[in-house]
């Protein structure tokens, strides 16, 4: 089987293939055919930007530059509290990564939404929850995140808002479903299931 997880504007397609027993991270669009990325230390490619840098969804989060084949481990946020792992979900043109960090303790409340930025490291944007995490970001660093049972957006320099409260409607109220991801573009438009 094969499963593509992301494509950039240059036509790089990443994802994974499986022979039924083992799963392999791959670059589907490599010049010589499908390229196995296992030797790089990447396991679960999640997204790729136009600079050909992909982010890995496995613990701890890593970035792989397809131009140089150099892997960078993004580590975990500085504590306290202590963190066990991080995982990436999306990467923007600046190389910022949205994702989550996992506490070394507290199994029922162990995940926080976070963003990684070069020179800064991981910034935590939520309290803990069993399934908290940032799923998408745009080139301004705005992040869309799940916090407990709601979807939120953190606009860089403006603050954090519950997305459901931002929907203006003349009749009734929209309920934003948090079970699926939400996306944000550079015009700060957000697509959500509701």
Tokens of 15: 């994802």
Tokens of 29: 């669009």
Q: Where are the alpha helices (DSSP H) in the chain?
A: 163-166
* 15 touches 5 (CB < 8 A): yes
- Please check the confidence at residue 156 and state whether its pLDDT lies above 70: yes
User: Distance between CA 192 and CA 27 in Å, rounded?
Assistant: 29
DSSP state of 165: H
Which residues lie closer than 8 Å to 173 by C-beta, 6 or more apart? 164
Burial label for 76, CB within 10 Å (0-12, 13-18, 19+), is buried
CB atoms within 10 A of CB 168: 6
Three-state SS for 38? helix
Between CA 6 and CA 102, with CA 58 as vertex, the angle to 5 degrees is 125
Instruction: Determine the pLDDT at residue 187.
Output: 97
Task: Quick: pLDDT tens for 55-67.
Answer: 999 899 999 999 9
* 95 touches 49 (CB < 8 A): yes
User: For residue 180, what pLDDT band results from cuts at 50, 70 and 90?
Assistant: low
- Please check the confidence at residue 179 and state whether its pLDDT lies above 70: no
H or E stretch at 16: strand 13-18
- Please check the confidence at residue 15 and state whether its pLDDT lies above 90: yes
Task: Quick: pLDDT tens for 73-115.
Answer: 999 999 889 999 999 999 999 999 999 999 998 888 999 999 9
């Amino acid at each position: 089987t094969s499963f593509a997880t992301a494509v950039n504007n240059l036509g790089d397609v990443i994802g994974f293939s499986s022979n039924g027993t083992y799963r392999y991270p791959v670059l589907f669009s490599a010049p010589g055919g499908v390229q196995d990325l296992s030797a790089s230390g990447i396991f679960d490619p999640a997204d790729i930007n136009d600079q050909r840098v992909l982010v890995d969804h496995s613990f701890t989060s890593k970035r792989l530059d397809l131009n140089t084949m150099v892997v960078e481990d993004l580590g975990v946020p500085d504590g306290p509290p202590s963190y066990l792992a991080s995982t990436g979900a999306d990467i923007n043109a600046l190389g910022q990564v949205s994702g989550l960090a996992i506490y070394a303790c507290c199994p029922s409340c162990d995940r926080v939404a976070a963003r990684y930025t070069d020179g800064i490291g991981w910034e935590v944007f939520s309290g803990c929850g069993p399934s908290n995490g940032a799923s998408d970001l745009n080139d301004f660093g705005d992040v869309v995140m799940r916090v407990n049972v709601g979807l939120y957006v953190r606009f860089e320099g403006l603050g954090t808002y519950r997305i459901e409260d931002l929907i203006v409607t003349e009749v009734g109220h929209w309920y934003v479903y948090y079970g699926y991801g939400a996306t944000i573009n550079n015009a700060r438009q957000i697509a959500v299931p509701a």
